Amino acid sequence: MCKTIGIIGGGQLGLMLAEEAALLGARTVCLDPAADAPAFRVANSSIAAAFDDADALEKLCRQSDVITYEFENVPSRLLIELERKYNIPQGFEPLFDAQDRVREKRNALANGLQTPQFAEVNDEASLLAAIEQVGYPCVFKTRTLGYDGHGQAVLRCAEDIAKVKNLIDTPAILEQFVPFDYEASIVMVSDGKDIIHFPIGRNVHRDGILDLCFVPAQMSQTVQNQLIAGSKEFMRRCGYRGILAIEYFVRGNQVLFNEMAPRPHNSGHYTIEGCTTNQFRELARFLLGKPLQSPQLVAPTVMKNILGEDFDVAQCIAKQGLNNVFVHLYGKTECRPKRKMGHITFVGEEAVGTMAQWDFAATTNPQK
């Protein structure tokens, strides 16, 4: 019998998951507040409703054999109720742990990972106390809902406190500013027995948003072993199942946990063409109860994120039909600066070499 995967969220992650699920013979139904959500174009069924609409979530679950989420701001309290009645194999725990930056950092420390120094902030007095504890420079982040640099500010001196004046009474975290050498990320999938992992990516951000991911990441074998072993042990100790991406700061041989996401990750998009299997396919395998496949890198690969300011260039590249250059445009109806409109994957040295000829808004190669 054809199984149906219910996806809470209909953005590009839901779109690519629905595409891979179809290749495995499964149906999909997606829920998203936007009537023009990208995943609605490929899913077998769709529900346009808010993420906190309990009735709509119940409807999604009734139509599905198994449920997942591609958006971490789904209210975990609603998932707790739904998990009691429906098949949500990832559970609410990884979502719950990732939704609050203080809880996320404490959980990382409790389960074997190192983090930058941090302190909880709830008002001006606790902010000043946190600065005294952590010191300058430091990074102020809201505890919830912030992403892609939103709700964040770097504080380098007392005068910079004015940057967060409007957020001073919002629950937040103050983190030590880490002078890292580079950022790296790993995507894993666990079926409760085995954990597979994709090759580590070395990431470059632009204005708080992922710009480039280079694979394989140039790093020492010591750091690579530490990052892989620590990530797998963390996932085991937490009892997480399904997909999990973790971002790290790397400084010398020190690996520091930055944040995690219990969903497919932007830095893992390269796996679609750059590996023998990809993050969406392995998540679908997990959800459908199929054996996981261990991925292998096909060739050196670079993934370029396409924001609104890069969209025209991406369309030009798509028309060229270049070998081993794969353009994914998500079909979003409104193009605006800093909005994720697609990504391009360059597979192999020759294809990667063509990237420099295109006039993207910003392209930096950290793999020097």
Q: Which of 45-54, 72-81, 135-144, 298-307 has the lowest mean pLDDT?
A: 72-81
Q: Please say if the pLDDT value at position 368 is more than 80.
A: no
Beta carbons within 8 Å of 359's beta carbon, 6+ residues apart: 313
- The overall average pLDDT reported for the chain is 94
Residue range 292-345, pLDDT digits in tens: 999 999 999 999 999 999 999 999 999 999 999 999 999 999 999 999 999 999
Q: Please say if the pLDDT value at position 216 is more than 90.
A: yes
Residue range 89-99, pLDDT digits in tens: 999 999 999 99
Q: Please say if the pLDDT value at position 142 is more than 50.
A: yes
What is the share, in percent, of the chain residues with pLDDT greater than 70?
Answer: 97
Residue 207: what pLDDT?
84
Q: How remote is the C-alpha of 114 from its chain's centroid?
A: 20
Residue 75: what pLDDT?
84
What is the share, in percent, of the chain residues with pLDDT greater than 90?
Answer: 89
Looking at residues 27-51, what average pLDDT do you find? 97
Residue 147: what pLDDT?
59
Residue 253: what pLDDT?
95
Residue 361: what pLDDT?
74
Looking at residues 261-276, what average pLDDT do you find? 98
Looking at residues 212-238, what average pLDDT do you find? 97
The span from the CA of 343 to the CA of 211, in Å, is 9
CB 72 within 8 A of CB 98: yes
Confidence band, pLDDT 50/70/90 cuts, at residue 148: low
Q: How remote is the C-alpha of 226 from its chain's centroid?
A: 21
Beta carbons within 8 Å of 96's beta carbon, 6+ residues apart: 76, 103
Residue range 10-30, pLDDT digits in tens: 999 999 999 999 999 999 999
Count other Cβ atoms within 10 Å, centred on residue 84: 8
Let me know the angle formed at the C-alpha of 158 by 127 and 181, rounded to the nearest 5 degrees: 85
Residue 10: what pLDDT?
97
CB 27 within 8 A of CB 64: no
Q: Please say if the pLDDT value at position 366 is more than 60.
A: no
Q: Please say if the pLDDT value at position 226 is more than 90.
A: yes
Looking at residues 92-108, what average pLDDT do you find? 96
User: Which range scores top for mean pLDDT: 101-115, 146-160, 163-177?
Assistant: 101-115
Q: Please say if the pLDDT value at position 139 is more than 70.
A: yes
Residue 76: what pLDDT?
82
pTM, entire model: 0.94
